[in-house]
């Protein structure tokens, strides 16, 4: 399980408005990159991608924005 460089094709640019997780980007910790990918596992190394922040403060902020968007 190591980075093979395939993930560079799916590299995500930082969005102008909103956060990365709000815009559907996921992070692979093994490749150390944010990617635009719909699957659970990284296409490059097979490591499980993270779709939510690790920090409690940012998780809470994401949760409120997502529920606010769902209600409108």
pLDDT in tens, 8-51: 999 999 999 888 999 999 999 999 999 999 999 999 999 999 99
Domain boundaries, the chain: 6-71
Q: What is the C-alpha to C-alpha distance for residues 72 and 62, in angstroms, rounded to an integer?
A: 16
Q: What is the C-alpha to C-alpha distance for residues 11 and 45, in angstroms, rounded to an integer?
A: 14
Q: What is the C-alpha to C-alpha distance for residues 20 and 36, in angstroms, rounded to an integer?
A: 10
- What is the model's pLDDT at position 50? 94
Does position 72 have pLDDT exceeding 80, yes or no? Answer: no
Any idea which of 43-47, 55-59, 65-69 has the lowest mean pLDDT?
A: 65-69
17-27-61 Cα angle (round to 5) = 45
pTM here? 0.83
Yes or no: say if 45 and 30 are a contact pair by the CB < 8 Å rule: yes
């Amino acid at each position: 399980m190591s980075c093979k460089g395939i993930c560079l094709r799916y590299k995500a640019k930082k969005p102008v408005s909103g956060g990365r997780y709000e815009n559907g980007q996921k992070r692979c910790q093994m490749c150390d990159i944010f990617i635009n990918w719909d699957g659970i596992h990284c296409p490059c190394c097979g490591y499980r991608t993270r779709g939510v922040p690790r920090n409690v403060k940012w998780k809470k902020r994401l949760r409120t924005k997502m529920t606010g968007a769902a209600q409108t």
